[in-house]
Amino acid sequence: MATANPLPGVEIASVPAAAPLLALLAPLPNEQFKGVLANLSACADPGALLIATAGESSTDSIPAFRVVAAPATKFSWILTAADFVNAFQLAQEHHARAILMLGPESSSLGLPGLRALVDSVAGAAADLVLPCYDLPPHAGLVNSAILYPLSRALFACPARFPLAIDLGLSLRMAERLAAAAQRLIALNQSTAPLWPVNEAAAAGFTISEFGAGPRFLPQPAEPDLSTVLPLVVGSLFSDIEAKAAFWQRPRQLPSPRNHPHAGPAHSPDPATDIAPMIQAFRLAYTHLQEIWSLVLPPNSLLGLKRLSLTEGAAFRMPETLWARIIYDFLLAYRLRTIHRNHLFGALIPLYLAWVASHINVTASGANPEHHIEAAAAFEIEKPYLVSRWRWPDRFNP
């Protein structure tokens, strides 16, 4: 059953079987735009697709495509609340039966991945279709360290990239996301991230994943970690807080992943110098004890002390310790234990310690995906989070 109509004045009518698929593309240079159209034409009959983009575009090479103007938005390195509102409005206006959203730099998405996305959406395989990108071992580590394991443990969703920028949406999924986006826009947060996985899980909608292959992921205009981590992780923490009644209920967890995209598809990354990361962690251990003690219980502080004494290649962040750190920072976010800017500032050196540990693990020859799948620690430690959420004073010294 679809959710209530989130957009005043927009009627949700039955969709005819011959209705087109709407493909909403982030603006691209014209040559790249033509390349994406060429790939789309190889995946589906151009007459069955409606292309929407806010960029200047030309269909001279494939005139069978129908292209309409999408409202201008501030497309960035992630899909934002405004993008989802636009997608739903366009789908309603043009009587589309489902939606493809292709984010910035979508010309780097290969034909096999694009075909898998189109086939999943056209076949109504799920309400939400997400890509599993094939990235270099040391790319997307905020996702690997925090976003993926939290989404998996709390929302029982195995999607490897819960904040993906290429999506397939059923109409009811688009409707629900538009409703969530409207709430953010009302708070003057039109450029805020939205969490489709969480919305789909809370609504009981179906989710599927497809192998997207290699893809260039656009970078934020300000790639500094002190800007990116509060924006993304803070947004996820806020959404988790809003859906606490949902994720605290027991539910079946997803099966372990098979890592079909892990392996020799990429050349090994050049050796990464982890010394500055470890030094930043040790410096924080010396100077942030007072702040960390407000967020972390004594056992975690003891674990960090041991870690601070570990040298070089032996530096390893225990999976259980990392899971509890993230859970404790999530709780501190909810309780406003300290100012949230200071909270994320105190999390950054701990995240760098996890990254240094991850690099050491992969340098030893381990498959990076196997280490990331140690996210199972988040699932094992979920009762710890639920207990602290319900009785936050229980662990106070």
| Selected residue with higher pLDDT from 261 and 186 | 186
25 close to 36: Cβ distance less than 8 angstroms? yes
User: How much of the chain exceeds pLDDT 70, in percent?
Assistant: 88
Q: Mind listing the domains of the chain with CATH numbers?
A: 21-247 (3.90.550), 275-395 (no CATH)
Rg (CA), the chain: 22
Binned at pLDDT 50, 70 and 90, residue 264 comes out as very low
24 close to 52: Cβ distance less than 8 angstroms? yes
* Calpha distance 126→344 (Å, rounded): 35
Q: What is the pLDDT of residues 296-317, one digit of tens each?
A: 999 999 999 999 999 888 999 9
33 close to 23: Cβ distance less than 8 angstroms? no
Binned at pLDDT 50, 70 and 90, residue 248 comes out as very high
pLDDT at residue 48 above 50? yes
Over residues 324-344, mean pLDDT: 96
Give me the long-range contacts of 142-148 (CB less than 8 A, separation at least 24).
Answer: 142/228, 142/229, 142/232, 142/233, 142/351, 144/358, 144/372, 145/322, 145/351, 145/354, 145/355, 145/358, 146/233, 146/236, 146/326, 146/351, 147/232, 147/233, 147/236, 148/372, 148/375
Least confident stretch, 133-137, 219-223, 352-356, 389-393: 219-223
Binned at pLDDT 50, 70 and 90, residue 266 comes out as very low
pLDDT at residue 337 above 60? yes
Q: What is the mean pLDDT of the chain?
A: 87
Binned at pLDDT 50, 70 and 90, residue 258 comes out as low
pLDDT at residue 243 above 60? yes
pLDDT at residue 132 above 90? yes
Strand order of the β-sheet with 207-214 is 66-69, 49-53, 21-25, 98-102, 166-170, 128-134, 207-214
Q: What is the pLDDT of residues 2-46, one digit of tens each?
A: 334 444 443 444 444 467 999 999 988 888 999 999 999 999 998
| Selected residue with higher pLDDT from 365 and 317 | 317
Over residues 55-59, mean pLDDT: 67
Binned at pLDDT 50, 70 and 90, residue 125 comes out as confident
Give CA 191 to chain center in angstroms.
15
* Calpha distance 370→368 (Å, rounded): 5
SS (H, E, C) the chain: CCCCCCCCCCCCCCCCCCCCEEEEECCCCHHHHHHHHHHHHHHCCHHHEEEEECCCCCCCCCCCCEEEECCCCCCCCCCEHHHHHHHHHHHHHCCCCEEEEECCCHHHCCHHHHHHHHHHHHCCCCCEEEEEEECCCCCCHHHHHHHHHHHHHHHCCCCCCCCCCEEEEEHHHHHHHHHHHHHHHHCCCCCCECCHHHHHHHHCCCEEEEEEEECCCCCCCCCCHHHHHHHHHHHHHHHHHHCHHHHCCCCCCCCCCCCCCCCCCCCCCCCCCCHHHHHHHHHHHHHCHHHHHHHCCHHHHHHHHHHHCCCHHHCCCCHHHHHHHHHHHHHHHHHCCCCHHHHHHHHHHHHHHHHHHHHHHHHCCCCHHHHHHHHHHHHHCHHHHHHHHHCHHHHCC
Given this model, what pLDDT does residue 10 score?
A: 39
| Selected residue with higher pLDDT from 281 and 124 | 281
